[in-house]
Structure 1
Amino acid sequence: MTLHNIKRSPYFLLIAVLIQATACKKDYTDPNKVPQDPALKTAKGLTGVVTGLQRVYTAGRASALYNMVTADGFVTRQLDIRNQGNTAEYQLYLGSGSVDGTNTILASFWTGNNKVIYDANNVINNAPDLTDQAYASGLIAYASIFKALALGNLAMFWEHVPDTIGANVGFVTSAQGFNKAIAVLDKALAAVSANPISASFIANAPAGIDIVNTLHALKARYSLNVGNYTQALAEANAVDLTKRSTFNFDPVTLNPIFETATSTNNVYQPIDSTMGLPPSLAPNLADKRVPFYIAINPTTAPRYRINGFGAALNTAFPVYLPGEMTLIKAEAYARQSTPDLVNALVELNKIITKKPASDPFGIGADLPPDAGPYTQAQLLEQIYRHRSIELYMSGLRLMDMRRLNRPTTERKRSFFPYPFIERDNNTNTPTDPSF
């Protein structure tokens, strides 16, 4: 949804708006709130905005986090529907033509990501005016993480994305959307390089996100998606793989996967221990990542239950996984102009042999190394296999399927249709993809 009449956006009201996305109005004004502009001129006000960014991005069933994991999980066959009365989820489970512009999950996802971009822009544009430039760089970097995530989310699921935030805006290709996200990350890295983030900002920001490592990790992710393998490798190498970067939750702000799916057992659960992969790529029975992500209930249906990053109300959800960075390195080596299949297999074997205790999140296959040898195509298929297992229910698989040229029979859609809330308000909205 392109947003052009936003004066103030209290986040508890935003959630209610997103749940009723098909009746969305492009006006988040709250008459009980003071005008926004004065708050954007102070460090305290801008800190409040970036705190709100994380809340909008992660809180509840209308959040970008829930919608990304859910939409991606259904159309890539990772998830099984538990109640067909959950109409939006059921449409995604059916896939293909059952998913159209009325789908409320896609409408919320579209609206929420555009809202995040709008609020992040307010921080990025106003923070440089602060006297304390070290605090300002923290604000810029933190807001840039969410802006890049939002841009990247739109680019992962739609063929075209809005070129900017405003009325009747134009659209650019998904590849251009990823490049926009990379440009945001570059500016943030430059700001942090010029003025290292102050301890006072770290103390005031929500705990969990490792800012600098996350900037590099997201740049590696989006560089891979646009085929800039040299840059993807360099950025993945810049990430400290011993560190965690997470969205944190507590008894007040619940993990949205747990809140909606795990705790109720009435929306979705894992499809089974294949993780939605075809038989030739299904996990080895000894792979310890399977029980990390999928719990087994031997007596009460469904047998397969959400574990991993949706296990409990306060389970932190990773912004990225260290294993993703290692797998980016493997793919980048394999896809170089002169493929380096030796180093690609070295990186892949780091994932295959990793013990859970060696990973910051406890994710490890703990399998014997793969000896190969592989052709480039065979190695890329194994990289896809281990990305699918290592990054289960991360929201990244649909993009992986397209990038790694998986058969369309393995998924239920390649791109999503544009929500009617966009089409009804923007004459530039592109034609929906056929699949």
Structure 2
Amino acid sequence: MKSLRNTTSKYITCIAIAWAFCLASCTKEYQDPSRAKTDVALTSQQGLTAVAIGLQRVYTLNRTGVMFNSVAANGFITNEFSLLNSGNIPELQLSTGGAAVDGTNTILFNLWTSANKIIYDADLVIANAGNLGDKGYASGLIAYSSIFKAMAIGNLSQYWERIPDGTGKNVPFIVRAAGFAKAIAVLDNALTVIAANPISSSFNSNIPPTINIVNTLHALKARYALFAGNYPLALTEANLVDLTKTSSFAFDATSPNVLFTVISSNNVFQPININLGLTGTNVPDVVDKRIPFYTFFAGTPTATIRMGGFATTTSTPFPVYLPGEIMLIKAEVLTRQPDLTNALAELNKVVTKTSDPFGVAAALPALTGPYTQQQLLDLIYKHRSIELYASGLKIEDMRRFNQPVASRKRNFFPYPFQERDNNTNTPADPGF
């Protein structure tokens, strides 16, 4: 049996190599100045593996990665978070909202840059993996890299009206609906590659074990099909996700959970209140066990609200998707068809859930209805807001469920000045 120490050492070595590539490639076109060295690395199985594993590091890395900045930006503009220190200027801009958010915001810049860096590096892996002799290993590289490429495109499409169609110089922009379609195409290609050549055990032994590749491809495809309004595809893909299996980003003392690092300082942001920022009929039931999961009180002499959930320890994993998200995708699609009877049954799977691989369980009595289509949609929005708290998905939900514009602080984000300065195709900023 392979020792944990040796396995961990291998991951750290690969990540270190990949991060070296990352540091060497922070130009506008995300290119490595030492091109010859990169070209050599991209012809070897070891080099491609290092770059692929590096995608996860860029996605989750400290406060510069996609994960943290997506959660933070979304949390402020949808009233999930309360700002604790107005000296944190990027957070202050997002907490204020409106015109206070401009192209200087470093949270948005980090989100934009990290996402485009991931797309660039994933393209290198996908383009070169097919040259390897071991097709099963190659399919693993393509599928794993496609996960991060799709999430990078998806995040850009959630926050900006238009996104770059590529990572080169002066690339054109496409509407965000085309961005979701592009993310789905990336995932489709990965599934096709896997069907032709199943992922080899040797590849699986060389990557962090907490990402379930096949389930994640289907879950993300369901998510982005839902966002794109392709409801039949969203339902088909959601039904292909095995909800007994999990997929998450793992952390440890060397690479700590960035949300815990930020939250534990109690100097940046915390949950806005125990209602998670929800008001009116969306306020969680007082006995909803997801509230003590996502929040708790600590500190002296007066205890204040703190974020729990996926920000509780250095090593708390962060889910790529939650089982509840997949159930709620099914409920929403069935409601919109409409198939209200089966939709309510799917919603009740979330409402009555008493156990969950990640601990997210409302444990509430079943909803009995009868409900109209709009009433069910309202309930689904409410439970998505609770179940998927601080996941970075709420702004997309607010638009899709036609929540009042006044209930959020921005609708779409302005483009980073660095992009505008280097790409003449950058669109005009949205008014709100």
Q: TM-score, normalised by structure 1?
A: 0.93
What's the C-alpha RMSD, in Å, of the aligned pairs? 1.7
Shift of 1:375: 1.2
> Any residues of structure 2 matched to 1:117-136 within 5 Å, and which?
117-136=119-138
Asked if structure 2 preserves the Cα contact closer than 8 Å seen for 1:148 and 1:185, the reply is yes
Map of 1:21 onto structure 2? none
Shift of 1:372: 1.2
> Any residues of structure 2 matched to 1:125-274 within 5 Å, and which?
125-259=127-261, 261-274=262-275
Asked if structure 1 preserves the Cα contact closer than 8 Å seen for 2:30 and 2:120, the reply is no
Runs (4+) of structure 1 moved beyond 6 Å? 15-18
* Deviation sequence 1:6-33 (CA, Å, 0-9, x none): xxx9636857998xxxxx75566466x9
Secondary structure of the equivalent of 2:364?
coil
In structure 2, relative to structure 1, the CA distance for the partners of 1:63 and 1:300 (3 Å cut) is farther
Map of 1:3 onto structure 2? none
Matched, 1:322 2:330: no
Map of 1:59 onto structure 2? 61
* Deviation sequence 1:74-129 (CA, Å, 0-9, x none): 00000000111111011111111110000001001000000000000001111111
Shift of 1:263: 1.8
Map of 2:347 onto structure 1? 348
Shift of 1:300: 4.5
Matched, 1:433 2:430: yes
Take 1:406 and 1:224, find their aligned partners in 2: how far apart are those partners? 17
Of 3, 14, 19, which residue of structure 2 is paired with 1:11? Answer: 19
Shift of 1:301: 5.1
Counterpart amino acid of residue 417 in structure 1: P
Counterpart amino acid of residue 183 in structure 2: A
Secondary structure of the equivalent of 2:82?
strand
Asked if structure 1 preserves the Cα contact closer than 8 Å seen for 2:28 and 2:169, the reply is no
In structure 2, relative to structure 1, the CA distance for the partners of 1:12 and 1:414 (3 Å cut) is farther
Map of 1:368 onto structure 2? 365
Map of 2:332 onto structure 1? 331
In structure 2, relative to structure 1, the CA distance for the partners of 1:265 and 1:30 (3 Å cut) is farther
Asked if structure 2 preserves the Cα contact closer than 8 Å seen for 1:269 and 1:304, the reply is yes
Take 2:281 and 2:400, find their aligned partners in 1: how far apart are those partners? 19
Secondary structure of the equivalent of 1:269?
strand
Shift of 1:297: 2.3
Counterpart amino acid of residue 343 in structure 2: A
Take 1:16 and 1:35, find their aligned partners in 2: how far apart are those partners? 11
Of 366, 377, 381, which residue of structure 2 is paired with 1:380? Answer: 377
In structure 2, relative to structure 1, the CA distance for the partners of 1:228 and 1:85 (3 Å cut) is same
In structure 2, relative to structure 1, the CA distance for the partners of 1:16 and 1:272 (3 Å cut) is farther
* Deviation sequence 1:318-360 (CA, Å, 0-9, x none): 0000100000000000111xx10111111001100000xx311
Asked if structure 2 preserves the Cα contact closer than 8 Å seen for 1:15 and 1:62, the reply is no
Take 1:364 and 1:16, find their aligned partners in 2: how far apart are those partners? 44
Asked if structure 2 preserves the Cα contact closer than 8 Å seen for 1:353 and 1:367, the reply is yes
Secondary structure of the equivalent of 1:296?
strand
Shift of 1:45: 0.7
- Unaligned 5+ runs, structure 1: 1-8, 19-23
* Deviation sequence 1:194-245 (CA, Å, 0-9, x none): 1111111010012210000000000000000111111101100100001110
Take 1:211 and 1:255, find their aligned partners in 2: how far apart are those partners? 21
Take 2:83 and 2:76, find their aligned partners in 1: how far apart are those partners? 8
Take 1:111 and 1:124, find their aligned partners in 2: how far apart are those partners? 20
Secondary structure of the equivalent of 1:272?
coil
In structure 2, relative to structure 1, the CA distance for the partners of 1:362 and 1:25 (3 Å cut) is same
Map of 1:6 onto structure 2? none
Take 2:178 and 2:201, find their aligned partners in 1: how far apart are those partners? 35
Take 1:273 and 1:408, find their aligned partners in 2: how far apart are those partners? 23
Map of 1:49 onto structure 2? 51
Take 1:105 and 1:61, find their aligned partners in 2: how far apart are those partners? 8
Take 2:419 and 2:371, find their aligned partners in 1: how far apart are those partners? 46
Secondary structure of the equivalent of 1:310?
coil
Of 417, 421, 429, which residue of structure 2 is paired with 1:420? Answer: 417
Map of 2:87 onto structure 1? 85
Map of 2:109 onto structure 1? 107
Asked if structure 2 preserves the Cα contact closer than 8 Å seen for 1:233 and 1:328, the reply is yes
Take 1:169 and 1:83, find their aligned partners in 2: how far apart are those partners? 38
Asked if structure 2 preserves the Cα contact closer than 8 Å seen for 1:10 and 1:30, the reply is no
Counterpart amino acid of residue 408 in structure 1: V
Q: Which moved more, 1:179-188 or 1:294-303?
A: 294-303
Take 1:248 and 1:129, find their aligned partners in 2: how far apart are those partners? 30
* Deviation sequence 1:356-412 (CA, Å, 0-9, x none): xx3111111000011111111111111000000000000000000001111111110
- Unaligned 5+ runs, structure 2: 1-16
Of 404, 407, 411, which residue of structure 1 is paired with 2:408? Answer: 411
Take 1:301 and 1:25, find their aligned partners in 2: how far apart are those partners? 48
Asked if structure 2 preserves the Cα contact closer than 8 Å seen for 1:242 and 1:359, the reply is no
Secondary structure of the equivalent of 1:45?
helix
Shift of 1:302: 5.9
Asked if structure 1 preserves the Cα contact closer than 8 Å seen for 2:24 and 2:32, the reply is no
Asked if structure 2 preserves the Cα contact closer than 8 Å seen for 1:323 and 1:390, the reply is yes
Q: TM-score, normalised by structure 2?
A: 0.93
Matched, 1:284 2:285: yes
- Identical pairs, percent: 56
